[in-house]
Amino acid sequence: METIRLNIAGREYPLSAAANEVESLRQAADAINAQFDVFRQQFQVDDPVDLLAMTALQLTSSGLDKKVETSPALTDDSLKHIEHLRQRIHKALEL
């Protein structure tokens, strides 16, 4: 496991991740920040919570569309992994 620091919407989050997940997590943070900035400029909203909620909805819905195209159903392992990541993000946000 590696400890990495991701900057998301101007805040740093330390995460422990397997070496093979680090690059994916960095790319995910980059995608979040890019969409966050688009929404901030487009809607001129200052509340980062609102912007992050809109970003989460946008990225999740586009990700679900891609999953449906490539895979008819998520496997149990995929769902467990998503839930694990969701819990880690939730825990990091509580700090």
What are the two backbone dihedrals, phi and then psi, of residue 2, each rounded to the nearest 5 degrees? Answer: -115, 150
What is the per-residue pLDDT for 70? 47
Determine the residue type at 49: V
Q: Contact at 8 Å (CB) between 26 and 33?
A: no
Range of 73's domain?
2-93
Residue bearing the bigger pLDDT, 74 or 59: 59
Task: Work out how many domains the chain is built from and give that number.
Answer: 1
- Rounded to whole angstroms, how far apart are CA atoms 81 and 17? 12
- 6-65 confidence digits (pLDDT tens): 999 999 999 999 999 999 999 999 999 999 999 999 988 889 999 999 999 888 887 755
**pLDDT band per the 50, 70, 90 thresholds, residue 66:** low
